[in-house]
Amino acid sequence: MKHTALITALLVLSLSACDKKPSETPFVPDQVATPAPAPASALPPGHPQVKANGMGTMGNLPTINSATPEALHKATVVSIINVPQFTYIEIGEGKQTEWLATGTVAVKKGDVIQFEGGSTMTNFKSKVLNRTFPIITLVNQVTVVGGK
C-alpha cells in the first residue's frame, strides 16, 4: 500500500511538471558581425612574408624567420650528417662548435659557409639519427662561400 501511494505521488509530480509548454518563440542570439579577413599585405610590422603555399625553403617545414643582414654568420664546417631532406652541419666559430640543421645542401668538411640566424632549440631529438642535440639552430638556407 505504501509503495502504491509513493508511485502515485511521483506520477502526479512528474505529470504536473510536464504541464508547462515551451515558449512559442525560440531564443535566437543577436548576430555577431565577423570582421573580414585582413589581406596578406596587412601583416604586422616585422612579420615575415608568407608564401602562397605556406611552405618555406625546407620542404614541409614553415619558414623559421626573416633574418636581417646583420644576422648573417660565417663559419667553417667541422662535420656533416646527411639524412633524407636535411643536412646537419657542425660548425666552428672560434674555439666553439655548434650544430645547424637545414634543407639538404652540398657541403664538405673545411668549407666556409654563410647562413642567416634561425631558430635555436635545446635538447632537439632527431628520430632519424636516434640522437639528441643539446643545442641546434634550424636555418632556412646555407651558402658555401669558400672551401679548402
Tell whether the model's pLDDT for residue 3 goes beyond 80.
no
Report residue 28 CA to chain centroid gap: 38
7 vs 48: CA distance, rounded Å: 72
Strand-pair category, 131-138 with 96-103: parallel
CATH number for the domain whose boundaries are 56-146 = 2.40.50.140
On the 0-12 / 13-18 / 19+ scale of CB atoms within 10 A, 81 is middle
28 vs 55: CA distance, rounded Å: 42
The three cell numbers of residue 132 are 639528441
Q: What strands lie across the sheet with 131-138, from one edge to the other? A: 119-126, 131-138, 96-103, 86-93, 72-83, 112-116, 142-146
Report residue 135 CA to chain centroid gap: 18
Model pLDDT, residue 79: 94
Question: Which pLDDT tens digit goes with each residue over 52-77?
Answer: 544 434 444 444 444 445 578 888 99
Mean pLDDT of 92-105: 88
Quick one: which of 142, 96, 97, 95 has its CA closest to 118? Answer: 142
Q: How confident is the model at residue 108 (pLDDT cuts 50, 70, 90)?
A: very high
DSSP letter string, 45-96: TTPPP--TTS--SBTTBPP-----GGGEEEEEEEEEEEETTEEEEEEEETTE
pTM of the model: 0.52
Q: Which residue has the higher pLDDT, 144 or 54?
A: 144
In the chain, % of residues over pLDDT 70: 52
CB 54 within 8 A of CB 40: no
